[in-house]
Chain A
Amino acid sequence: MNTVFGKFLTQGAKHSIAALFFIYVVISIVLLLLTISLFVTPGIKDMVERIESVSRDYEITTVKSNIERFISSRAQILQDIAQSPVIVNSAMQSSSNNVYLKDFMEDLLLFGKKEEFYLANILGQLVYKANSDDERHINPEEAWFIDLLDNKKNFTFEVIEENDEFLFQIAVPIKFKHLAEGVFFANVKIDPAIITGIDFTQKSRALLLKSRDGKVLKTDLEHIVAPLELKRNLPEIESELSYIFDQNLLEREQQQLLSGITIRLVAVTVVSFLLLTVIGYKIILAPYRNLRLSEEKLRVVNENLEVLKNDAVTVSDRMQAILESAAEAIITINDQGAIRSFNRAAEVMFDYKETDILGENVKILMPSPYREEHDKYLTSYMKTRKKNMIGEKKEEIAIRKNGEIFPIDLSVSQVRADGELLFTGLISDITERKKAEENLAQANTELEEFAYRTSHDLRSPILSCISLLDMTEQSIRESDQDNAIFTLSYAQISLKKLETLIRDILALTETKNKEEEEQEIDFPIMVHDALDKLAHMDGFKDIDIHKDFQFDQKLFTKKLRLCMILENLISNTIKYRDPEKKYSYAKISTREENDHFVLEVKDNGLGIPKDNQDKLFTMFKRFHPKVAFGSGLGLYLMKKSADVLNGEISFNDHGEGSLFRLSIPFYRKVF
């Protein structure tokens, strides 16, 4: 017996858990990455920005004052720088637009009183350029205060007029490469004689100067480079600047910020862990607990099923018992036709043992041509599912092990058991019923024939008599006595005929209805009595009767029936003797043959015409017109009686007369 559920957790459930776990891990990683990118990355970015801004604040608040100090203390150096000769690159071009100094001045005034050191420096350079022929080139990339150039928009410049001389004071905010910034002031004196014009627009800032040789030069401010003197003093300035910066302070600030980042990271990790724990519980633990609960439920269900199964087994046993004790044969086959079950009644009906026939094809229980066609029926049913046989009770024929074919009632039903399609056939042997039906049909036919014939045969002699009596009457009136007697004799014949017929009909009715007990028969005595009874018949004396009784067993049978057959057989030999033969005989003999009592009556009489021998033993058959009168019921009566005695009567043509043979079983039947 299999358990209903082999395992509590099915393979499917296990796979589901594995899949859930996998999903959990993936989701955890994704969430972790997500939290890091959401919280940590912006945080760190923020930190870095703050470090920068702190640094800037530091520059602005602390470094600024230091630089101011530095600038004021190094004013002379800066002054020197401003007044040092500068080199202007060769990008000075001659210009056709001459601007007069006066205009330039006006422009400068309009521009504002305070202008740049830058311009001062430029002007300084220009003056230098105008006063010297030294055209040294300096690579602009080597300029250390390149930032100055970037901030040129912020420079301020002032023109001071002194004793017909112009003093250009220029203030330029500078930004050192090492975060420090400040403003340089410079005063430059330019001999106005060399300034020929100014090109000072939004797009370009250039001065037009007249050199000594009389050429007008355009100075492009974009191409101003550092003064040589300043470059020379650079290492000194740098060392001066280095102490300005408080390295420790910066480091402390940065340390603080870094620890802030660490704390954030830890917090993010803790939050992530908590989040993952919650999610983990939701995704894995809760389903797993549910699974455990279902497993428990499943176990209970399983136990219940086990109980049910045990009940089912009991029911199944009972069903088996019912099947076995059923009166009808019950046979189960599969869709191939192989026999799967065969109950007791089937064993008895077909004479096969269940153990022998299981697995055999059911067609061995069918005679030809059904046997050959059954496979086709099954295949066609499996294909079309057209229910020709299923459900309805049908009359079929079957064959026993010994080859005997018998009629059956068959009803087939279809069941599906253990995933297999089975057909159950319910079979009852209807041999008895069919026999009864046939007998009934035959009895009906006979009754009809009987009614028809009696209506005719009974009426016919009466009609004749009426006519004959009419004639007799007429003859008497005419005093023709001879004729009257003649017609009367015919009337008598007709009435006798009627009487015979009525007697036979009565005998037949009795034969059909009479119930009689079997008794022991002394056959020789019976023959003797019969001959006595028939001795008065015409022609009895003309027949030589032989007796040969070889049967020496006790004979049990129905006496009146046997007697009737015997008397009929003897009277027939007398009635239908052949008058043309000089010697007529009848031989009555008995013997035992195959447990049967056999009686033969043989004569050399008229016999039965060959073409009529098949109609023998039917009602109202007569074969000899003009020879004696018979109702045509005699042989029919004999046949019926022989049936009642479970025997058979037959006729043989032995060439010169008839030979009737009666064969009946002589053992007393036990039921």
Chain B
Amino acid sequence: MILSRVIVVDDCDADQFISKIIINRYDSNIEVLQAYDGEEALDILDSQENKPQVIFLDINMPRMDGHEFLKIYSERKDQQAPVVVMLTSSSQERDKESCRTHQCVKQYLEKPLKKEDLEQVCKIIIPLNANISNKSKT
């Protein structure tokens, strides 16, 4: 069991639906949390005891968009912090660059989410998980 819990932050119902289907097709055991904007995502992250491992984050959202979310999220010094994978329909270079400035952003994906993308994400997760378990052992 590599991925057990993720959160998809997107204001579009259709995209939420697509992401959920794809993730569950990849591994039906993965629990998919949903947030419709940055603010809601922060609320969910704060309220959940069992933190998701990956945040799939869209950029253009009402209220608090992806950039604003990253700004606040990066300032949190949380060891257990889930990695962020951008999942957006923006292929603009300025968006990509802006996201790369944040260390927590590990991947920049364009919609729609695909099976191969998830495999890539898992490869990133494994060494991170190993590190965390090593640290907990020592």
Contacts and interface: CB of A to CB of B under 8 A. Distances in A.
Do A and B pair up? The answer is yes
A541 interface: no
A254 interface: no
B92 interface: yes
A144 interface: no
Contacts of A471: 18, 21
Interface string B28-64: 0000000011001000000000000000000111110
Interface residues of A, number: 31
B60 A626 contact: no
A12 to B, nearest CB: 82
Contacts of B27: none
A457 B60 contact: yes
A490 B13 contact: yes
Contacts of B88: 456
A464 B18 contact: yes
A625 interface: yes
Given A463-B112, A467-B112, A626-B36, A490 B62 contact: no
A609 B14 contact: no
Given A468-B14, A471-B18, A625 B89 contact: no
Contact of A609 (B17, B18, B63, B112): B63
Contacts of B14: 461, 464-465, 468, 490-491, 493-494, 497
B21 A623 contact: no
Nearest to A453: B60
Interface string B1-25: 0000000000111110110010000
B63 A456 contact: no
A455 interface: yes
Nearest to A483: B21
Most chain B beta-carbon contacts within 10 A, residue among A453, A463, A632: A463
Interface in B79-138: 88-90, 92, 111-112
B12 A623 contact: no
A621 B60 CA distance: 10
A625 to B, nearest CB: 4
Interface string A433-477: 000000000000000000011011101110111111001000000
Contacts of B36: 625-626
A654 interface: no
Nearest to A465: B14
A625 B63 contact: yes
B111 A460 contact: yes
Most chain B beta-carbon contacts within 10 A, residue among A461, A625, A626, A632: A625
A461 B18 CA distance: 12
B112 A464 contact: yes
Given A468-B14, A471-B18, A622 B111 contact: no
Most chain A beta-carbon contacts within 10 A, residue among B36, B61, B112: B112
A624 B18 contact: no
Contact of B17 (A452, A487, A622, A625): A487
Contact of B92 (A456, A460, A463): A456
A101 to B, nearest CB: 164
A479 interface: no
A459 B89 contact: yes
B12 A622 contact: no
Nearest to B112: A467
Contacts of A468: 14, 17-18
A384 interface: no
Contacts of A609: 63
A404 B119 CA distance: 66
Nearest to A490: B14
A465 B112 CA distance: 10
Contacts of B13: 490, 493
A623 B111 CA distance: 23
Interface of A: 452-453, 455-457, 459-461, 463-468, 471, 487, 490-491, 493-494, 497, 609, 612, 620-626, 632
20 contacts: A460-B15, A460-B111, A463-B89, A464-B15, A467-B112, A471-B18, A471-B21, A490-B13, A490-B17, A490-B18, A493-B14, A494-B12, A497-B12, A609-B63, A612-B63, A622-B63, A623-B62, A624-B62, A625-B40, A626-B36
Interface of B: 11-15, 17-18, 21, 36-37, 40, 59-63, 88-90, 92, 111-112
